Chain A
Amino acid sequence: MQISRGTGRPLLAQLLVLVAGLAAVAAPARAQLRLDITEGVNDAVPVAVVPFGGQAEGASTDIASVVAGDLRLSGRFAPLDRQDMVTRPTSGGEIRFEDWRLLKSDYIVVGRVDGGGTAVGFELFNVQTGQQLLAQRVPTAGQSLRAVAHHISDLVFERLTGIRGAFSTRIAYISVEGKPPAQRYRLVVADADGFNPRTVAESNDPLMSPAWSPDGQSLAYVSFETKASAIYVQRLATGERRRVSARAGINGAPEFSPDGTRLAITLSRDGNLDIYVLDLTTQALTRITSDEAIDTEAAWAPDGKTLYFTSDRAGNAQVYRVSLADTSNVQRVTYTNGYNARPRLSPDGAALALVTLDRGYRIALMDLKSRNLRMLTNGRQDESPSFAPNGAVIIYATQDRGPGSLAMVSSDGRYQERLSSDRGHVREPAWSPYPPR
Chain B
Amino acid sequence: MTGFAREHLRPLMGSAGLHLLLIALIGSAALRWTTAQPPVQLAIEGVVVDARDLPKSVRSGKALRVPRPDPVKEARPPPAPVPDKEARESAEQEKARKDAVAAERRKQDQIEAQQKKRAADEAHRKAEAEQKKAAGEQARQQKDAQAKAAQDAKAKAALEADLKRRLAAEEEEGAAVAQSGVKDEYRALLVQAIERNWIRPPSARAGLACTLYVNQATGGTVIDVKLGPCNGDEAVRESIVNAVYRASPLPAPGDPRAFERRLEIVFKPTE
Contacts and interface: CB of A to CB of B under 8 A. Distances in A.
A-B complex is real: yes
B59 to A, nearest CB: 6
Contacts of A432: none
Interface string B43-87: 111011101001000110111111010000000000000000000
Nearest to B5: A294
B2 to A, nearest CB: 6
Interface in A186-240: 206, 208-209, 222, 224, 227-229
Contacts of B26: 180
Contacts of A4: 223-225
B49 A317 contact: yes
Given A2-B224, A228-B17, A310-B45, A37 B64 contact: no
Could you say which interface size class chain A belongs to?
Answer: 35 or more
Interface residues of B, number: 81
Contacts, number: 232
Given A161-B201, A335-B65, A39 B269 contact: yes
B224 A229 contact: no
B262 A33 contact: yes
B64 A335 contact: yes
A204 B265 CA distance: 65
Interface in B217-271: 223-228, 233-235, 238-243, 245-246, 260-270
Interface stretch (A59-67, A135-143, A265-273, A279-287): A265-273
A35 B246 contact: no
Interface string A20-49: 010011000111111111111111110000
A383 B9 CA distance: 25
Contacts of B66: 335, 371
B63 A209 contact: no
Contacts of B35: 381
Nearest to A39: B195
Which residue of A159, A272, A357 has the most chain B CB atoms within 10 A of its CB atom?
Answer: A272
B264 A35 contact: yes
A162 interface: yes
Contacts of B238: 126, 160
B200 A40 contact: yes
A248 B17 contact: yes
A101 B186 CA distance: 25
A271 to B, nearest CB: 6
Contacts of A40: 195, 198-200, 204, 239, 243, 269
B216 to A, nearest CB: 10
A37 B260 contact: no
B187 interface: yes
Contacts of B129: none
Given A41-B198, A342-B45, A36 B226 contact: no
A250 interface: yes
Nearest to A22: B226
A39 to B, nearest CB: 5
A183 B41 contact: yes
A76 B64 CA distance: 38
A252 to B, nearest CB: 3
A312 interface: yes
A361 interface: yes
Instruction: List 5 A-B pairs, minimum CB-CB distance, nearest first.
Output: A252-B44, A40-B200, A40-B198, A315-B62, A32-B262
Interface of B: 2, 5-6, 9-10, 13, 17-18, 20-21, 25-26, 32-35, 40-45, 47-49, 51, 54, 58-59, 61-66, 68, 183, 186-187, 190-191, 194-204, 213, 223-228, 233-235, 238-243, 245-246, 260-270
